Amino acid sequence: MENPLAKRFAPHEIAEAEAFIEANPEAPLDPRIERLVNDLIGRVADKWTLLVLELLEEQGTLRFTRIAQQVEGISQKMLTQTLRQMERDGLLTRTVHPVVPPRVDYALTPLGNSLSAAFCGVWVWAERNLEAVEDSRRRFDTRD
């Protein structure tokens, strides 16, 4: 199994931990929950996932080939993999139309849209601070 921890909790266990966190924002997380959150962050804070997420957010429903064309540099294998993982995590829906030739549509779920919104601050940060970062990199590379 890809993530052995993913099945150790009943939904109510997670819900209780969640409620506890909400009530005690300064309390340290349950290590198991912390690990699940870190795993989740690890999956969504992925280059391809982010690019697909933003593309679907901007353009709505898209077919496999359209996504492949617009996500620069992604291989078909990684796109398939990324889409499957996002589907598994509930970020998008995959709709297969029984026609010839086959047609498969991908679209964000409300959960996917909310994640995209959560990342908005990071995109804004990246655009706002691009110059500062590039400056820092130049300085670092030319230091004695």
What is the binding site for its own copies (CB under 8 A)? 6-7, 9, 11, 14-15, 18, 21, 33, 35-38, 40-42, 44-47, 50-51, 72, 87-90, 111, 114-115, 117-138, 140-141
* Cβ pair 29, 37 in contact under 8 A: yes
Confirm or reject binding of residue 110 to DNA (CB under 7 A): no
Confirm or reject binding of residue 59 to DNA (CB under 7 A): no
Confirm or reject binding of residue 74 to DNA (CB under 7 A): yes
Binding footprint of DNA on the chain (CB under 7 A):
48, 63-66, 73-78, 80-81, 83-84, 94, 101-104
